[in-house]
Chains A and B, each alone.
Chain A
Amino acid sequence: MMATDDTALLRRFLRTIRVSTHTALAEYELAEGRAGAAAPVRFQALAAKGADRFRFPAAGIAAGDGLLAARLGRTATGEPAALRLQAEGAAGLDAYAGRAGRLRFGPFGPEADVRFDRDGLAEVPLAGLGLDEDDLAAFTIEMAATE
């Protein structure tokens, strides 16, 4: 069967989309693998998924490295307002106090800069980031290299 010009063009289009999307996806996954090797610290709420909407625990969430705790500050109406990150213990202060990093919510952001003061405390306003509360069930922090 002879393909019409339009059919031939459509088939080239399909192949172009097929090749380009999957090559881009493979590149993304390889890059993620490299980023994973650099191991940003991960916060993950237990039982984040369930029948009810996720609500950030009042007791906070501990980071995977055990050196940071995240608590959620709320507005008067109960909406998420800011994340307060506090380094825990002498090891936590040693690792985080006075340093800067970047918070990342979900695989494609949004992202926010974070800077810890000398007491190992950092506050990250959430306004304007377009986040729902369940976006806060899992996030990562990647520290900038020390000078």
Chain B
Amino acid sequence: MSGASKSGRDLVAQFAGHLANLLNGNDHLPADAPVVEIRPFQLYERVYRGLSANRRFLEGLVGLWSYPPPQEPETAADFYFDQVMDRPIGRRPGKPSSADNLRAFVAAAAAGPFPACAAEDAELSTWKAMVDGPQRIRRFRERAALFELSNLILKCLDAANRPYAEVLRLGLCPKDWLSGSEEVTVNTLKASNAFLKALRAEMRDEVGRRPTAAELEAAFAAAPVPGSSTGAEFARTTLGGAILTRVAGQDVTRMVSYESVEAVISDTLADEDDGPLLAADEALPLLERAVRAGAVAEDEKGLLAAILDGRPLAEAMKTDLGLRRRLKTRFDNDLGAYVADLSARVAAFVRGASEGRP
């Protein structure tokens, strides 16, 4: 198993990076501005615009393809914001949540005193952790600090995005299953995805038909869903029925989107880790190992080292003709696709090295 997807992109990480840059004012302030004002409504407009107008976010994160016609980007982006960005993130007993950590990080950058939040005990969402603290913060101008901000946002999104992403992974519309009378728990969604994977294996990935009774029961035996005792019983539930109808559908576009989303999610969830990010000098020997393992080329190591060292991506690309050629010939000048591929190759290298492969 390579583990690295070619089609799927790590959109959750990119969205976290996008949010970190927006919070830091990198979209409208000159590089040397020392302070950024946090205006929640203005920031909301920018986040909302990214979700509803950026095609990559709209398809891969929001999953507009899963919404019934008429598909309205604004409505879907609104629902995504409420369900993911503003989803309260729970705490483990005695431990701060990822949103608490994010708020503390933002608060530590306060430019001047600010009133404490009224409801300290309430579970925070990613959004509230970003905007409910100080109104003015010193900008994260050191690259390591901006990466840490992005990392903390990503930790929030890894948790808050999960139920939404699990529904998309089933090929269903999140609006139908995350609110109202049909609301399903994340554990049921995860189990349902495992069942769907087993079912597709039993059906040898044939779409456009309903499974036979034998295929249904074999898949359920391999991946049972809590609350049902047999495959037939699960198929009679509202969720089970929707999944089987989805499998029996012949909408190729949706299946392609589903595959892509699944790839993104499996990449996203594979490297959950609580350790701090590595400093550039700590990462360099590992980049050398990735080069020796053939995962990244020597000039790509230079690009990654430059990024870790704080050089803007455009500047790092401009100085290397070989990288520009590769970007043009292999990725048709799509920098996002190149970065995703590079990141996926590093992920494949890490998985291989962790499993003891050379």
- For chain B, the bracket of interface size reads 35 or more
Tell whether, in the assembled complex, residue B283 and residue A13 are in contact, meaning their CB atoms are under 8 Å apart. Answer: yes
Tell me if B333 and A12 are in contact (CB < 8 A).
no
> For the complex, is B108 an interface residue (Cβ under 8 Å from A)?
no
Q: A10-B354, A11-B354, A18-B271 are in contact. Are A24 and B312 (CB under 8 A)?
A: yes
* New A-B contacts (17) at CB < 8 Å, excluding given A23-B147, A28-B312, A109-B324: A7-B354, A11-B350, A12-B275, A13-B278, A14-B347, A18-B10, A19-B154, A21-B304, A22-B16, A23-B146, A24-B313, A28-B335, A106-B324, A107-B327, A108-B317, A108-B318, A108-B327
The residues of A with any CB-CB pair to B shorter than 8 Å are 6-31, 33-34, 106-110, 130
Q: A residues within 8 A CB of B17? A: 19, 22-27
* A48 to B174 CA separation, bound complex (whole angstroms): 41
B264 to chain A, nearest CB (A): 12
Query: Please, how many angstroms separate the alpha-carbon atoms of A20 and B286 in the complex?
Result: 15
11 A-B residue pairs with CB within 8 Å: A14-B347, A15-B275, A15-B277, A17-B304, A23-B147, A23-B150, A24-B17, A26-B17, A28-B314, A106-B328, A106-B333
Determine which of B271, B308, B333 lies in contact with A20 in the assembled complex, contact meaning CB atoms within 8 Å: B308
Q: Nearest-CB distance from B284 to chain A (Å)?
A: 10
The dominant DSSP class at the B interface is helix
The stretch of B76-84, B231-239, B336-344 that contacts the partner chain: B336-344
Bound state CA distance, A8 and B271, in angstroms? Answer: 10
- Nearest CB of A to B275, in Å: 4
A-side contacts of B324, CB under 8 Å: 106, 108-109
> How many angstroms between the C-alpha atoms of A25 and B339 in the bound complex?
8
Q: Least Cβ distance of A55 to chain B in Å?
A: 18
- How far does the Cβ of B217 sit from chain A's closest Cβ, in whole Å? 31
B residues within 8 A CB of A29?
A: 18, 336
Instruction: Let me know if B151 and A15 touch, CB within 8 A.
Output: yes
Alpha-carbon distance between A20 and B13 when the two chains are bound, in angstroms: 9
Distance between B347 CB and nearest chain A CB, rounded to angstroms:
6
Bound-state Cα–Cα, A128 to B179, Å: 61
